[in-house]
A and B are shown apart, each in its own frame.
Chain A
Amino acid sequence: MNLFKISVANLKEKKLNSFLSALLLTLGIGMISLLLLLNKQLDEQFRRNIRGIDMVVGAKGSPLQLILSSIYQIDSPTGNIPLSEVNALKRNPFIKTIIPLSMGDNYHGFRIVGTTSKYVEHFQAKIKEGALFSKPMEVTLGSKVAKNSELKIGDTFASSHGLDSDGDAHNDKKYKVTGIFEPTGSVVDQLVLTNLESVWEIHEHAETPAAEIKENDPAHEEEMGDAHHEAEKQITSALIQFRNPMGLITIPRQINQNTSMQAALPSIEINRLFSLLGVGIETLRALALVIIVIAGVSVFISLYNSLKERKYEMALMLSMGATRTKLFFMLLLEGLILAITGYLSGIMLSRIGLWLFSRAAEQDFHYSIREFNLLPEELYLLAGALILGLLAAALPSLGIYRLNISRTLAEE
C-alpha cells in the first residue's frame, strides 16, 4: 500500500474517464511528435542529398521541378539540354565540378541514370560487390534496387521507357549488372547508374527503326545525322559545384540570360518547398496543441468530478492520519500518471505513424525514413505533458486544503 498504488487504483476505478483523458493526450502528443519526426527526417533527407551541390542546370521550366528531378529523382525532368553547352561551362573559373545526368528510362520504377563516376564520388557511394560500370550498357545498382529487384551481378535486364514502370520496354538492348553499391542513405540507393553513352545508345537504337520507315523524309535524315554528331548530344541536367561562393552571384544569372538552359539553386528551392509545406505543418501543429489542451481539460474535469464523489474518502483518509499534502500529492500523481501514459502511447503512436508513412513513401518515392530515436524536442514535449498533467490535477486538488473533515464525515 502506498500513494502510487492508491492513485493507480483510483484511475482504474474510473476506467472510461482515465481512458478518455489518456486517449486525448495520446492523440495530441502523437500528432506533434509525428510532425517533428517527419519534419526532421524529410529535412535531413533533403539536405543530405543537396550537400555539395551548389547549382543545377537543366532545360528551362520550373526551377523546383528541376531540383526535384535532378537531385531527388522524384519529379519529371524539365527537358533536355545540349551537352556542348554544359561542357562550355567547364571553362568558367568559378566552376569546380560538373556532373552530367541523363535520364529517361527505368527498371521496375527505379530510374536509370546515365552519369559519370563523379556522381558516385560525390555521394561517396562504395561498391559492395562487383565493379563500377565502365562500358556502355553496364550498370551498377543502388542497394535498394538490388534488394527489391533481386538482380545479381552478371544478370541482364531490359529497361522501360519513361519514368513509370509501365512504359514500353527497350527489349532489343539489355543492360548488364556489373556491381552493387552499399547503402548510402542518399538518393543513390534507389538508382540504377550507368554511363551517359548507355542512355544515348538505347535511344538511338529505339529511333533507328522508326527512321527506316520514313527513309525518304529529309528532315528526319538530318536529325539522324545530327544525333550522331558529338556536339549535338543531349543530357537531362547537370549538377554543379562552385570553386568559391562568388560563383553563386554571377553564374546563375549568366546562364539564365545567355544560354538555352536554366540554373536553379537547390538551397533556395528547398527552402521554398519547405515554406510551402510549412503552412500545412503549422496547421496540424496548432490542431495537435488544441487536442492537448482538451486533454488537459478532460483530466481536470474527470479529477474534479471524482473528487466531488470522493470527498468522504478524502475526509476519511485525513481522519486516519493522512496529511492534506499527502492527499494532494496522491491526486497530483493521478494527473501525472495520465500524462506519462498519454506521452508514452503518443510517442509510440507517432512511431507507428512514421513506419506507415515510411512504407508509403518508399513505395511511391523509394525514400525511406527509418529513425525512431527520441528527438530532443520530444523531451520538451514530455516536460509539457507533465506540466499539463500537474496543472490539470492541481487545480481541482487544491480543494483538499479546504475540506472540513468533521462536517464531511458527519454529513453522510
Chain B
Amino acid sequence: MITSKNLRFSYSPQKQFSFPDIACNDKEALLILGQSGRGKTTFLHLLALLLQPDAGNIQISGHTLSGLSSTERTNIRAKSLGIIYQRAHFVSALSVIDNILLSNYLAGNKQDKEKASYLAEQLGFADHLNKKTTQLSQGEQQRVSIARALMNNPNVILADEPTSNLDDNNCQKVIELLKKQSSLIGASLVVVTHDQRLKDEFPNQVFL
C-alpha cells in the first residue's frame, strides 16, 4: 500500500510541480494519466524515493518515509519497491536470468533461481533466459523487466510508461501480466502513463 500527501517538487523556481494526493491499497491498481511535461516521471521518481520532495510525505505499508538517510531510502527502494521503466534497461553484459537475479543480489536477498524461472514461465520468455537482453524484442524486454521488479516480492510496483514503446498486442499482454502478477504477490500497482490505451484497463485513475 502506498499513499502520498501534498507532494511538491521543484527543479528551479520557474519549474515547480505540486502533485495530487494518491492512495493505492494492496492488490489494487492505480493509473496516473498525464500529458508530457506535467511531471509524470518526476512524480514517479518521488514515489520511488529517487528524488526528495520539497514538501509532503509518502507512506509505504503504513511507514512514513520522510527524514530518511539516502542509505535507508536505497534499502527501502530495493526491498519494498519494484520499478519498471519506460524503456526496459538492463546490464547489457549479463544474460536475461542474471539481470533478473541481479535484483535479488543488489537488494541483499538470496538469489532465487526457481522463482526467476517460474516468472519467466508465467511471463512467457522462459526460452530466452540465457540470451543477452539485447537479443530480445521490446515486448519481451518489458516482460523481463516486470519479472525483475517482482523478484523481491515488493509492496509496491511502480511503472513509468510501461507500454508506450509497445504495439497494441504487446501493450495488452504486458498490462495484463502486470496487473495479474502484482495482485498475486499482494502488491499495489501504480502506473504512470500518457498512453490512452490503458484508460479502460484501470478503474482507479488520477489525472495530472
Contacts and interface: CB of A to CB of B under 8 A. Distances in A.
Contact of A412 (B50, B87, B93, B106): B87
Contact of B45 (A1, A317, A318, A406): A406
Interface residues of B, number: 31
Given A321-B77, A321-B78, A321-B108, A13 B102 contact: no
B69 interface: no
Nearest to B48: A319
Contact residues on A (Cβ < 8 Å of other chain), bracket: 20 to 34
A234 to B, nearest CB: 77
A2 B101 CA distance: 10
A310 B108 CA distance: 22
Interface in B69-84: 71, 74-75, 77-79, 83
A160 B15 CA distance: 100
Given A319-B77, A410-B45, A1 B89 contact: no
Contact of A5 (B74, B92, B98): B98
B92 A321 contact: no
A12 B94 CA distance: 10
B93 A1 contact: no
B105 A323 contact: no
A317 B108 CA distance: 13
A405 B85 CA distance: 13
A2 B104 CA distance: 11
Interface string A313-328: 1001111111100000
Contacts of A323: 71, 74
B83 A9 contact: no
Contacts of B93: 6, 9-10, 12-13
A313 B48 contact: no
Contacts of A352: none
A312 interface: yes
B41 to A, nearest CB: 5
Contacts of A375: none
Contacts of B104: 1
A409 B85 contact: yes
A313 B107 contact: no
Interface string B145-176: 00000000000000000000000000000000
Contacts of B107: 320-321
B111 A319 contact: no
Given A6-B93, A313-B92, A321 B74 contact: yes
A409 B45 CA distance: 9
Nearest to B82: A320
Contacts of B92: 13, 310, 313
A318 to B, nearest CB: 7
A10 B90 CA distance: 12
A406 B50 CA distance: 6
A287 B41 CA distance: 54
Contacts of A2: 105
A320 B152 CA distance: 10
Interface string A292-318: 000000000000000000101100111
Contacts of A410: 41-42, 45
9 closest A-B pairs by CB: A321-B78, A13-B93, A9-B93, A321-B106, A406-B50, A321-B107, A320-B106, A1-B105, A10-B93
Given A12-B93, A320-B78, A410-B41, 14 more contacts: A1-B101, A6-B91, A6-B94, A312-B89, A316-B85, A316-B91, A317-B91, A317-B102, A319-B50, A319-B77, A320-B107, A406-B45, A409-B45, A412-B87
7 contacts: A1-B101, A6-B94, A9-B94, A9-B98, A313-B91, A321-B107, A321-B108
Interface of B: 41-42, 45, 48, 50-51, 71, 74-75, 77-79, 83, 85, 87, 89-94, 98, 101-108, 111
